[in-house]
C-alpha cells in the first residue's frame, strides 16, 4: 500500500462529500466547498482522507509539503481534438487579414486542411505528436480528457485516428474517452454527393469503429455548412445501435437546431453553444444533456461567447472545455479557459472551477471517480504556487500558477 500525504494546504478546494453528486447546476455552481489549513491523504491512488492540519493522522505516508499553496481537483477536459498532423498558423494569418473561418473552410482550409495533412501522416507519427500534447496538458493540470477523431474523413483514416487514441489510452496516466467524429465535415470529393458520405459514415465507419471497440461516443458537427439536423439524427440513431452515446458540436455558427437534436437524442453533452437563445435554454431544461462552452474558440476566432451566465441563471448546469485543436483553439491550458469564462462569460471563479471539474466529469461519465475532492475518488489534484486567493487563478490569465500535478497519487514530472 502506497500512501501520499499532502500537508500545509492553504485551502483544499472542490470538496464534495457525497460521491453520488454527479454535477452542479444553477446556484449550486457558485458553491465550491473548502477546508482551510488542510491535509489530504491519498492511498493507492485513491483519496482516503482529508481534514484540518490539527487533525493530521499518524502516517508512514510519503509527505508532500504544499507549502501554503491551494489544492484543487484536476481539470477535466471533455472536448479536444489533440490527434492532429500539423498546426494551421497560415490560416490564422489569413483571418488576421480579414478572411472568415467559413471562407477559409470553403477555400480548402479548416477541417479539410487538417484532414489532408492527417491522411498523409503515419499512425506512429500521429501517436508521437498526440502523446506530446497529452503530457503537455497533464502538466497544465488536466486529469481526464476526451479526444475526438474527425480529421480522417475516410474509413481508414478515421480508424487510424481512433487507433492512435486507443494507443494513448494504453500509456496515459489519466483517463481518456474516445469519440468518433466521422461527421466532422463533408470531404471535397463528396461535396456534390453528401448522401454518399453520410452512407459511408453509417455503413462503413460506424460498424468498424464498433467492431474494434474504438470509441465510447459519437459526435456530429450539426451546424450551417456542415451537417443538418436530419443528417445528425440519422447518425445518432445508428450510433446508438452500436452502443455509442452522443456528444454534439452544436450552435457554433447559428441557431441551427443542434441543441434541440442533442437533447432529443439524450446526448451526454452539446458543445459550443455560441448561438444559444431562449428556445435552446428551454430545450436544455427538458433533458439531461450537459451544455458545454468552449471559450478558447470564441477568443481565437473572434466569434460570440456561449452565454454561460444566462445558462447558469436559468438553473442549468454548465461545463467548459478547451476544444484543443489546430484550427480554432491551439491551446489546451484549462486555467486559461477558466479565465475566459470569468472575464467574457461573467462566471464567478467558483462557477468556472465547477464547470471545469465536476461538470466536466459528468460530460465524460466520470463523476463517480473524477472531478472533486471526495473520499474514494482518484487522487488527481493540482497544488498551486503560493497565491493570495482562488480568484487569483482566473485573474492572472495565462500565468502558470501550478506548482505540482498529482495523478493517481503520484507526482507528474
Nearer to Zn ion, 323 or 350 (CB): 323
Q: How far is the CB of 200 from Zn ion (least distance, A)?
A: 21
142-148 and 33-43 beta bridge pairing: unpaired
Give the SS3 label for residue 302. Answer: coil
> With CB under 5 A as the contact rule, which of the stretches 50-58, 273-281, 323-331, 335-343 interacts with Zn ion?
323-331
> With CB under 5 A as the contact rule, which of the stretches 222-230, 255-263, 315-323, 392-400 interacts with Zn ion?
315-323
What the block records as the C-alpha cell of 24 is 452542479
Decide: is 323 part of the binding site for Zn ion (CB under 5 A): yes
> For residue 338, which phi and psi values (nearest 5 degrees)?
-60, -45
* Strand blocks (E) in 187-304: 217-222, 245-250, 269-272, 290-293
Q: How far is the CB of 359 from Zn ion (least distance, A)?
A: 17
CB-count burial class (<10 Å; 0-12, 13-18, 19+) for 171: exposed
CA-based nearest residue to 138, from 195, 215, 82, 212: 82
Q: How far is the CB of 71 from Zn ion (least distance, A)?
A: 30
Nearer to Zn ion, 69 or 258 (CB): 258
Q: How far is the CB of 81 from Zn ion (least distance, A)?
A: 6
What the block records as the C-alpha cell of 271 is 458543445
Q: Kindly identify the residues of this chain, within the stretch 332-361, that bind Zn ion according to CB under 5 A.
A: none
> With CB under 5 A as the contact rule, which of the stretches 8-16, 96-104, 204-212, 321-329 interacts with Zn ion?
321-329
Binding mask 111-150 for Zn ion (x = CB under 5 A): ----------------------------------------
What does DSSP assign to residue 22? -
Q: How far is the CB of 245 from Zn ion (least distance, A)?
A: 17
Quickly list H helices, 84-144: 89-96, 101-106, 110-119, 123-139
> With CB under 5 A as the contact rule, which of the stretches 256-264, 284-292, 322-330, 333-341 interacts with Zn ion?
322-330
What the block records as the C-alpha cell of 196 is 454518399
CA angle 107, 248, 140 (to 5 degrees): 85
Nearer to Zn ion, 22 or 149 (CB): 149
> With CB under 5 A as the contact rule, which of the stretches 21-29, 202-210, 319-327, 334-342 interacts with Zn ion?
319-327
Q: How far is the CB of 201 from Zn ion (least distance, A)?
A: 17
Decide: is 280 part of the binding site for Zn ion (CB under 5 A): no
CA distance 293 to 109: 24
CA-based nearest residue to 157, from 182, 190, 138, 130: 182
Decide: is 77 part of the binding site for Zn ion (CB under 5 A): no
Q: Which residues lie near Zn ion (CB under 5 A)? A: 323
Amino acid at each position: 500500500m502506497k500512501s501520499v500525504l499532502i500537508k500545509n494546504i492553504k485551502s483544499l478546494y472542490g470538496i464534495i462529500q457525497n460521491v453520488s453528486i454527479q454535477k452542479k447546476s444553477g446556484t449550486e455552481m457558485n458553491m465550491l466547498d473548502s477546508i482551510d489549513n488542510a491535509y489530504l491523504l491519498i492511498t493507492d491512488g485513491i483519496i482516503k482522507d482529508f481534514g484540518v492540519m490539527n487533525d493530521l493522522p499518524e502516517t508512514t505516508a510519503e509527505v508532500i509539503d504544499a507549502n501554503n499553496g491551494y489544492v484543487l481537483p484536476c481539470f477535466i477536459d471533455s472536448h479536444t481534438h489533440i490527434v492532429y498532423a500539423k498546426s494551421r498558423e497560415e490560416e490564422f494569418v489569413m483571418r488576421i487579414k480579414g478572411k472568415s473561418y467559413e471562407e477559409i473552410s470553403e477555400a480548402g482550409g479548416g477541417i479539410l486542411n487538417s484532414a489532408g495533412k492527417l491522411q498523409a501522416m503515419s499512425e506512429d507519427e500521429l501517436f508521437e505528436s498526440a502523446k506530446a500534447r497529452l503530457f503537455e496538458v497533464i502538466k497544465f493540470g488536466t486529469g481526464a480528457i476526451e479526444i475526438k477523431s474527425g480529421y480522417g474523413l475516410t474509413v481508414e483514416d478515421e480508424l487510424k485516428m481512433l487507433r492512435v487514441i486507443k494507443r494513448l489510452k494504453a500509456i496515459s496516466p489519466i483517463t481518456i474517452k474516445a469519440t468518433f467524429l466521422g461527421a466532422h465535415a463533408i470531404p471535397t470529393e463528396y461535396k456534390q454527393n453528401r448522401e454518399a458520405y453520410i452512407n459511408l459514415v453509417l455503413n462503413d465507419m460506424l460498424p468498424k469503429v464498433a467492431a474494434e471497440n474504438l470509441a465510447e461516443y459519437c459526435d456530429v458537427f450539426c451546424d450551417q455548412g456542415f451537417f443538418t439536423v436530419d443528417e445528425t439524427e440519422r447518425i445518432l440513431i445508428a450510433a446508438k445501435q452500436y452502443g455509442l452515446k452522443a456528444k454534439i458540436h452544436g450552435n457554433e455558427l447559428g441557431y441551427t437546431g443542434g441543441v434541440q437534436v442533442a437533447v432529443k437524442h439524450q446526448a451526454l453533452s452539446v458543445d459550443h453553444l455560441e448561438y444559444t437563445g431562449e428556445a435552446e435554454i428551454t430545450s436544455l431544461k427538458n433533458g439531461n444533456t450537459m451544455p458545454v462552452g468552449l471559450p478558447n474558440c470564441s477568443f481565437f476566432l473572434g466569434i460570440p461567447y456561449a452565454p454561460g451566465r444566462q445558462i447558469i441563471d436559468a438553473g442549468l448546469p454548465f461545463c467548459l472545455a478547451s476544444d484543443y485543436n489546430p484550427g480554432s483553439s491551439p491551446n489546451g491550458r484549462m486555467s486559461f479557459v477558466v479565465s475566459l469564462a470569468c472575464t467574457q462569460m461573467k462566471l464567478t471563479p467558483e462557477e468556472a472551477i465547477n464547470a471545469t471539474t465536476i461538470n466536466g466529469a459528468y460530460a465524460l461519465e466520470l463523476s463517480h471517480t473524477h472531478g472533486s475532492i471526495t473520499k474514494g475518488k482518484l487522487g488527481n489534484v493540482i497544488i498551486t504556487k503560493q497565491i493570495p486567493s482562488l480568484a487569483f487563478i482566473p485573474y492572472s490569465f495565462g500565468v502558470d500558477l501550478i506548482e505540482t500535478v498529482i495523478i493517481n497519487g503520484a507526482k507528474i514530472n
